[in-house]
Structure 1
Amino acid sequence: MGGSARNQGVRDGDDAPGQSLYQRLSQRMLDISGDRGVLKDVIREGAGDLVTPDASVLVKYSGYLEHMDKPFDSNCFRKTPRLMKLGEDITLWGMELGLLSMRRGELARFLFRPNYAYGTLGCPPLIPPNATVLFEIELLDFLDSAESDKFCALSAEQQDEFPLQKVLKVAATEREFGNYLFRQNRFYNAKVRYKRALQLLHRRTAPLDEQHLVEAAKLLVLLNLSFAYLKLDRPIMALRYGEQALLIDQKNAKALFRCGQLMTEYQKARDFLVRAQKEQPFNHDINNELKKLASYYRDYVDKEKEMCHRMFAPCGDGTTVGEN
């Protein structure tokens, strides 16, 4: 993604004399605004549903001025792009319209006229007045937050009027949001999303034949909460949620591993890790943690022996350090 695809699109345009690069390029593009203010050319087709109006999107983008090969704005240098909510985090109206026309995995090129971009004044000194700009946008993924936000704003009594599947869907959306935030190292914000999901699931009572669905959803959230608190350097809370996960599934390897990591007593930590290893004997992380624990314990024992040796070593007067 970048200048090469953009230049290829310009070369492929109709080479009419007296026309600018963007004018030639615009002749092969689709009008998605109805007034040719936002034009689109699909480079790679996407799949699935179109982006919804209240979605949060994960995109890579680069913006270009005409006759410039280097982008004036781009987030492609980021390892993990930031999750952006339509209507809040995106400032260009043209980009909003463009994203609403896209599907997951799609890569497209857009031309935004001034009234859909930076207006008649531009954005000095970077963007000149009345500038038409070209953006290449890749839609990596999106999450529809409208349904989740509206549901979470309801009272507990109102939420109880909806079927269980609705609650599970909203909780899953909250957890997925948390996962995105976690991958961006925004651990506190991820924790908030996970706790919203857990609160929804805790409040919901389900018939016996459907209780396993709620418990399975809770388990995923509890494991994520434990990991988030570990990243936030709050081991007591991380251990608490790990132990809650084990109440649902006492053989869950992830929960056993997390509790083993967080236990301060050697024997308890080893017991959890051995149980985790029993469930997943070839898990690299579990086996490494056991080796690390054994190494720490050997160091501890060696230091204890050395301390005892010094305490009871004979002094010059024939007594020992430990004698009064």
Structure 2
Amino acid sequence: MDKPFCTNCTKKLPRLMKLGEDITLRGLEIGVLTMKKGEVARFIFSPNYAYGQQGCLPLIPPNATVLFEVELIDFLDSADSDTFFALTAEQQDAFPLQKVLKVADVEREFGNYLFRKQCFEGAKDRYKRAYSILGRSPSSEAELCQIDASKLPVLLNLSITYLKLECPARALMYGEKALEIDKRNVKALFRCGQACLCMTEYEKARDFLIRAQHIEPFNHDINNELKKLASCYKDYLDKEKKMCCRMLATLNSSS
């Protein structure tokens, strides 16, 4: 059995990949609730708590009693998050800042989990929920610093997720928001450069990437992106030149 990553400790629904199917077993739903992080346990499930009368052919016959060995590697506690989103807008504003930051962090971790699974739409939605939570007005400079510290990784995650979703304008927008918090953030500069390159805004792309390179001159990804930019820009100039030549040839023939 694959080792599960449980994404909700209040339910801890392990998702098992068997024969290409996504299966939730009732026995595992109950069993995992009894486990602690890092624990390894063995469970014997009767058919009613496993694959039932149909089984899961060809590996598991009908009415099979099964043995599972489970290691609970990690899970995310969504209790505070669930409580927060059940509140009214006024109640959310009165929610203690430290709990708000924790809820935002949980939402970001959910997004990270989905991103690693290449579920980019789902990851984007989680990151946007986290970002919306952090939109509250700070009551002091110290609170502003804490909120910005939580916002920055969310904005960076939104930027790269929108690049994966082939929405470079959105990726640029969130990258620039990250730069408003930290103007020397290399990841933000790099992602803004990538987004501009996707939109064929070569001068802006070069500006962002050169700024990133000045901070990390030996960064392999930045240097490769600058090479890619140079190649794309050369191709663009060659096409422009050919188009101008064709236009001049047409004008000359007409005259």
Q: TM-score, length-normalised on structure 2?
A: 0.83
The equivalent residue for 2:191 is 258
How far residue 161 of structure 1 moved from its aligned partner, in angstroms, is 2.6
The equivalent residue for 2:224 is 288
Q: TM-score, length-normalised on structure 1?
A: 0.67
How far residue 288 of structure 1 moved from its aligned partner, in angstroms, is 0.7
Cα distance in structure 1, aligned partners of 2:223 and 2:39: 41
**Letter matched to residue 142 of structure 1:** F
How far residue 233 of structure 1 moved from its aligned partner, in angstroms, is 1.6
Indicate conservation of the 8 Å contact 1:113/1:132, yes or no: yes
How far residue 115 of structure 1 moved from its aligned partner, in angstroms, is 4.8
The equivalent residue for 1:248 is 181
The equivalent residue for 2:5 is none
How far residue 281 of structure 1 moved from its aligned partner, in angstroms, is 1.6
Cα distance in structure 2, aligned partners of 1:171 and 1:55: 20
1:196 aligns with 2:129: yes
| Count of residues paired in the alignment | 245
Indicate conservation of the 8 Å contact 2:12/2:33, yes or no: no
Deviations 1:171-219 (A, max 9, x none): 0000000010111111111111111111110024342122111011111
Which runs of structure 2 are paired with 1:1-324 in the superposition (5 Å)? 52-55=9-12, 74=18, 90-92=24-26, 94-118=27-51, 122-123=53-54, 126=57, 127-129=61-63, 131-263=64-196, 264-309=200-245, 311-312=247-248, 321=252, 324=255
Cα distance in structure 2, aligned partners of 1:277 and 1:125: 54
How far residue 229 of structure 1 moved from its aligned partner, in angstroms, is 1.5
SS across alignment from 1:135: strand
Q: Is the helix fraction higher in 1 or 2?
A: 2
Deviations 1:225-279 (A, max 9, x none): 1111121122221111111111111111111111111123211110010011112
**Letter matched to residue 201 of structure 1:** L
Cα distance in structure 2, aligned partners of 1:220 and 1:164: 18
Is there any run of 5+ residues in structure 2 with no aligned partner, and where? 3-7
- The change in CA–CA distance for 1:302 and 1:207 in structure 2 (over 3 A counts) is same
Whose Rg is larger?
1
Q: Is the strand fraction higher in 1 or 2?
A: 1
Give the stretch that moved more between structures: 97-106 or 155-164.
Answer: 97-106
Cα distance in structure 2, aligned partners of 1:226 and 1:242: 5
Indicate conservation of the 8 Å contact 1:109/1:135, yes or no: yes
Cα distance in structure 2, aligned partners of 1:299 and 1:322: 27
Cα distance in structure 1, aligned partners of 2:13 and 2:43: 20
Give the stretch that moved more between structures: 165-174 or 263-272.
Answer: 263-272
Deviations 1:125-184 (A, max 9, x none): 84433x321123233321112221221221122123332110000000000000101111
Is there any run of 5+ residues in structure 1 with no aligned partner, and where? 3-50, 62-72, 83-88
**Letter matched to residue 269 of structure 1:** A
How far residue 56 of structure 1 moved from its aligned partner, in angstroms, is 5.7
Indicate conservation of the 8 Å contact 1:54/1:145, yes or no: no
Identical positions, percent: 60
How far residue 304 of structure 1 moved from its aligned partner, in angstroms, is 3.1
Indicate conservation of the 8 Å contact 2:80/2:99, yes or no: no
Cα distance in structure 1, aligned partners of 2:89 and 2:56: 52
The equivalent residue for 1:17 is none
- The change in CA–CA distance for 1:278 and 1:56 in structure 2 (over 3 A counts) is farther
**Letter matched to residue 165 of structure 1:** Q
Cα distance in structure 2, aligned partners of 1:53 and 1:216: 28
How far residue 90 of structure 1 moved from its aligned partner, in angstroms, is 3.1
